[in-house]
């Protein structure tokens, strides 16, 4: 059974729910008051493709604050997929994807990078300020996947990563891999890159309980 590592980076403005999307995918949990990411962290989770091939996602969460933008490039310059997240209740967060993030990724990432636009917080549809059709049309212009997600209700979260796997492998049948206890992943490490003043990086490793579940 072959295993392929695959780097996925989530970008977007602060507060759009990047961390919550990852937490929901990895742990199936949601925290109402999620602290903003101040550097970059990555977690891992795998999916099983047709034929038994395992695609191991290395999922990077990046800071959305403007003061970290110049440093965020280091996370997506060698990414296999980039997920641009906006908050459906904040039009400015979608405008930043159109005017900033999409251009940055095109200029600083591999040509064959898989692009995704995720409209998060779909559970707040009554407060929506971004027209979904506009977002879908923009995704088409970029040849990107579009998906509506809610980190709170889990709507679209698994589908987001399944669609990435399908586009990369051509497989039509993707299964989220659960921790079966047969691999040494019961204490999967969550890696953290803290950005210090002056732009220096500091690596930190934390034990993340529960493996892929």
What is the domain count for the chain?
1
Average pLDDT estimate for 38-55:
85
Q: What is the pLDDT of residues 9-28, one digit of tens each?
A: 999 998 999 999 999 999 99
Q: What is the pLDDT of residues 63-101, one digit of tens each?
A: 756 555 666 778 888 999 999 999 999 999 999 999 999
Of residues 31 and 197, more confidently modeled = 31
Q: Give me the percent of the chain exceeding a pLDDT of 90.
A: 64
Cα dihedral 124/125/130/134 (nearest 10)? 140
Average pLDDT estimate for 198-205:
46
Average pLDDT estimate for 197-211:
42
* C-beta of residue 90 within 8 angstroms of C-beta of residue 129: yes
- Give SS3 for 120: strand
Q: Is residue 104 part of a domain?
A: yes
Q: Is residue 170 part of a domain?
A: yes
Q: Give me the percent of the chain exceeding a pLDDT of 70.
A: 76
Q: Is residue 22 part of a domain?
A: yes
Cα dihedral 179/180/181/182 (nearest 10)? -120
Beta bridge partners of 46: 56
Distance CA(103)–CA(44), nearest Å, equals 27
Q: Is residue 138 part of a domain?
A: yes
Distance CA(150)–CA(118), nearest Å, equals 9
Q: Is residue 62 part of a domain?
A: yes
Per-residue pLDDT at 130 exceeds 70: yes
CATH number of the domain to which 86 belongs: 3.40.50.300
Q: Is residue 212 part of a domain?
A: no
- What is the token pair recorded at 145? 């996947």
Average pLDDT estimate for 179-184:
44
Please tell me the predicted confidence (pLDDT) of residue 177.
Answer: 85
Quote the Cα angle for 49-47-166, to 5°.
Answer: 50
Q: Is residue 213 part of a domain?
A: no
Please tell me the predicted confidence (pLDDT) of residue 36.
Answer: 57
- Domain ranges, residue 64: 3-207
Longest dimension (CA), the chain: 47
Cα dist. 100→52, 79, 84, 178 in Å? 38, 18, 11, 36
């Amino acid at each position: 059974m072959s295993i392929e590592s695959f780097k996925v980076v989530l970008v977007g403005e602060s507060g759009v729910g990047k961390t919550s999307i990852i937490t929901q995918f990895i742990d199936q949990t949601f925290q109402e008051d999620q602290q903003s990411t101040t550097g970059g962290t990555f977690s891992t989770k795998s999916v099983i493709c047709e034929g038994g091939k395992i695609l191991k996602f290395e999922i990077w969460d990046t800071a959305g604050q403007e003061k970290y933008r110049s440093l965020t490039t280091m996370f997506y310059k060698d990414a296999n997929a980039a997920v641009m997240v906006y908050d459906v209740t904040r039009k400015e967060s979608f405008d930043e994807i159109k005017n900033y993030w999409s251009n940055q990724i095109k200029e600083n990432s591999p040509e064959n990078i898989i692009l995704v636009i995720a409209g998060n917080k779909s559970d707040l549809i009554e407060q929506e300020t971004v027209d979904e059709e506009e977002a879908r049309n923009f995704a088409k212009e970029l040849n990107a996947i579009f998906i509506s997600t809610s980190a709170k209700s889990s709507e679209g979260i698994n589908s987001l990563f399944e669609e990435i796997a399908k586009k990369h492998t051509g497989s039509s049948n993707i299964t989220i891999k659960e921790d079966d206890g047969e691999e040494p992943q019961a204490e999967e490490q969550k890696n953290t890159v803290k950005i210090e003043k002056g732009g220096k990086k500091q690596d930190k490793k934390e034990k993340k309980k529960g493996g892929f579940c």
